[in-house]
Structure 1
């Protein structure tokens, strides 16, 4: 049995408030106890019979619960994470409701995609009819697979053999009752009988098919985490997110918490985010009415009495990084990173401008901060490739 020692934990982190906005941010240096606290909070809330959803964006997360009410999305699962998340979401859709469908559309459009996901069977065996009939599958499954495969290979039904689902246009009952979900419900059987080699998944941008593995790491990170939340969230869930800024475009960092709250507020979740990103904090402060920020030292977390402040103040107040008070500099750096991420300037131009700012800086800590900005720029380009 898990014994939760809450003597150093602010009471605001314990139990959902059952309101439309319950947003909490954990900050502190590496080793301050943020990841340990997230794991402890997951066990505490599970012990109170709440559903807990964890999103771990580092390979060293400390979540270790095996409770049936605990759901986790781990970035350490690698390249198959996005595909598996989308497939599992479609399986869940078979027994769920319309609002989850709308959230998938909203998620795709927010990231810049069309509200469409497409699927294509790879290597359909032309002898599938004989193989299905000769298999040892139950009669009901044979009937389902025969209907599905016959309909899929009917060129009059779909000439290109790529199946589209438009989440803005399709009705939930049409998708629920469609053979489309059979792809995922019976994928394992289809492959084991060598009826197909696999299933390709495509996103859409400007009406063009984009193979899932060709999207940028930042796009996949956001698509995966938001679709995952869409598929598993329930009323009064507790959402725990560790370092969401990894791979995310600066614009998405600023809007991250607002986007999650806008998509899922009607479930009234408790959201607890551990982050090193001033942009995530700045965005939350600008758009949240009930934000709480807790600063940790050696496992002891204290509620900060904060007002809406700019990025330089956030570095100073929350991360103990001193920079000259200069709102123009922060806005200029964000603008440069947005231009770089949107490919309106190249990496060489970005590096040149940041180096010029650094050469003119008289503060050693500010120069160190600009070194981090240079590395962020290089990472943005790597993520876009």
Structure 2
């Protein structure tokens, strides 16, 4: 069943209002809602509120809840909930989510886990350890890497966490064979530090690491997943990652142009943000999900901001029935929305617009959507010059209501322009001509 939020009730200083987040659509294609507005207009609060509606105590969407909720933030000030009482599967990605994996084990055996807090290393655990993720979404993963100038192959290296290793396995590390392991009193008396380790795992562990030291590491290629060497011990390997005995030591990529190897730590902040957002979706997205993304443009070059919606729409179009809600300050992201199911909610006016009415340049977005046109905005200059010419030629009597509305917009925006700005000068000249000609609005 397709998931969609059409209306959302919002509490603001004690008062309630209803915001329209989308128009009803009859197809199963994904829906995109962009939230725009100045700082403190409530974009991040609205995103958080959408998610907290799915707490167990809430029943508003009880008939058609999302299959999964994915929250993504690359900044430091998101307001996404850190709670686990969400009435559906909930994942939250943030670079700040570097948590103790021993306390929150990987749920690779049950991908429909309830709650998880993701960061890049955790995502690469899933890509490396679950072959079907790579096979099913290889096109998306490959396209994302290619967009960053990287080849489709990368390596994930693991080594042994000696502290946790000692905690769990030092007592039996000296055993030589499975027969000796079977006869070890450690396995029969279950000492406290081994009580959570399944017996068959302990046996496999000894046999697997018998000839290796504690600095053992492996490399896993993205296209092929596990090597044949690891396939026979995959369950063991996953378990050791779950209990934090094995941990990622390095993630490496290959540049397309030079074929040279580059580590994750050597990527730019923009590349890391790009990877975090889109790999989260490549690994965890499913049909009929709710996806909330807070200010994805952080650390992005303007060209990448413009490409953001293109990548999102291109590589995830095979999923159906999802609703993406994205808070943004970027006119490039707004300009990049090319979708019949796309909407823009202006939180300054609480008006919902269809994306097809905003398929225009960043200058138009800055002026009409964000209300801050910047210096020498070509769109405003062109409008002002056009209206001045019409006024001089006495064509103002033919002004349509839409043109009158744009003239009102120009007068409103002039207060946000520097006095020396060409657009400001022309708008003031237009006002003078209108006064002389007694042009009505």
TM-score normalised by the shorter chain: which range applies? Answer: 0.5 to 0.7
- In the comparison of the two structures, how many residue pairs are matched? 314
1:293 equivalenced with 2:344 (yes/no): yes
User: Matched residues in 2 for 1:217 and 1:139: separation?
Assistant: 44
1:308-319 mapped onto 2 (5 Å cutoff): 308-319=359-370
Q: CA deviation at 1:87?
A: 1.5
CA contact (8 A) 2:21 2:352 kept: no
1:138 equivalenced with 2:198 (yes/no): yes
2:331 is matched with 278
Assess, with a 3 A threshold, how the Cα gap between structure 1 residues 124 and 267 changes in structure 2: closer, same or farther. Answer: closer
1:116 is matched with 153
Q: Which consecutive unaligned segments of at least 5 residues does structure 1 have?
A: 154-159, 330-360, 367-385
1:99-178 mapped onto 2 (5 Å cutoff): 99-122=136-159, 130=174, 136=194, 137-146=197-206, 148-149=208-209, 163-167=219-223, 170=224, 177=231
Deviations 1:124-145 (A, max 9, x none): 98x9963795774433213443
1:35 equivalenced with 2:72 (yes/no): no
Assess, with a 3 A threshold, how the Cα gap between structure 1 residues 365 and 246 changes in structure 2: closer, same or farther. Answer: farther
Superposition TM-score, scaled by structure 1 size: 0.68
1:72 equivalenced with 2:92 (yes/no): yes
1:228 is matched with 280
1:204 to 247, 250, 254: 254
2:80 to 56, 59, 63: 63
Q: CA RMSD in A?
A: 3.9
User: Matched residues in 1 for 2:350 and 2:422: separation?
Assistant: 29
Where relative contact order (Cα < 8 A, 6+ residues apart) is larger, the structure is 1
CA contact (8 A) 1:94 1:181 kept: no
CA contact (8 A) 1:98 1:172 kept: no
Q: Which consecutive unaligned segments of at least 5 residues does structure 2 have?
A: 1-7, 11-16, 56-60, 100-117, 163-169, 187-193, 382-418, 425-441
1:303 is matched with 352
Deviations 1:158-178 (A, max 9, x none): xx96524142xx279979946
Is the radius of gyration larger for structure 1 or structure 2? 2
Assess, with a 3 A threshold, how the Cα gap between structure 1 residues 152 and 262 changes in structure 2: closer, same or farther. Answer: farther
Assess, with a 3 A threshold, how the Cα gap between structure 1 residues 236 and 178 changes in structure 2: closer, same or farther. Answer: farther
User: Matched residues in 2 for 1:29 and 1:362: separation?
Assistant: 24
User: Matched residues in 2 for 1:42 and 1:124: separation?
Assistant: 36
User: Matched residues in 1 for 2:235 and 2:340: separation?
Assistant: 40
Assess, with a 3 A threshold, how the Cα gap between structure 1 residues 110 and 175 changes in structure 2: closer, same or farther. Answer: farther
**Residue 9 of structure 2: SS of its match in structure 1?**
coil
Assess, with a 3 A threshold, how the Cα gap between structure 1 residues 17 and 172 changes in structure 2: closer, same or farther. Answer: farther
User: Matched residues in 1 for 2:27 and 2:231: separation?
Assistant: 34
2:20 is matched with 10
**Residue 174 of structure 2: SS of its match in structure 1?**
helix
User: Matched residues in 2 for 1:141 and 1:365: separation?
Assistant: 72
1:186 equivalenced with 2:251 (yes/no): no
2:397 is matched with none
Q: CA deviation at 1:148?
A: 4.6
Deviations 1:244-264 (A, max 9, x none): 000112222111112112222
Superposition TM-score, scaled by structure 2 size: 0.60
**Residue 119 of structure 2: SS of its match in structure 1?**
helix
User: Matched residues in 1 for 2:315 and 2:208: separation?
Assistant: 33
CA contact (8 A) 1:13 1:24 kept: no
Deviations 1:334-385 (A, max 9, x none): xxxxxxxxxxxxxxxxxxxxxxxxxxx931999xxxxxxxxxxxxxxxxxxx
Assess, with a 3 A threshold, how the Cα gap between structure 1 residues 17 and 113 changes in structure 2: closer, same or farther. Answer: farther
User: Matched residues in 2 for 1:61 and 1:162: separation?
Assistant: 36
1:82 is matched with 120
2:71 is matched with 54
1:357 is matched with none
Q: CA deviation at 1:202?
A: 1.7
**Residue 23 of structure 1: SS of its match in structure 2?**
strand
Deviations 1:90-142 (A, max 9, x none): 44x256573234422222222221112213344798x9963795774433213
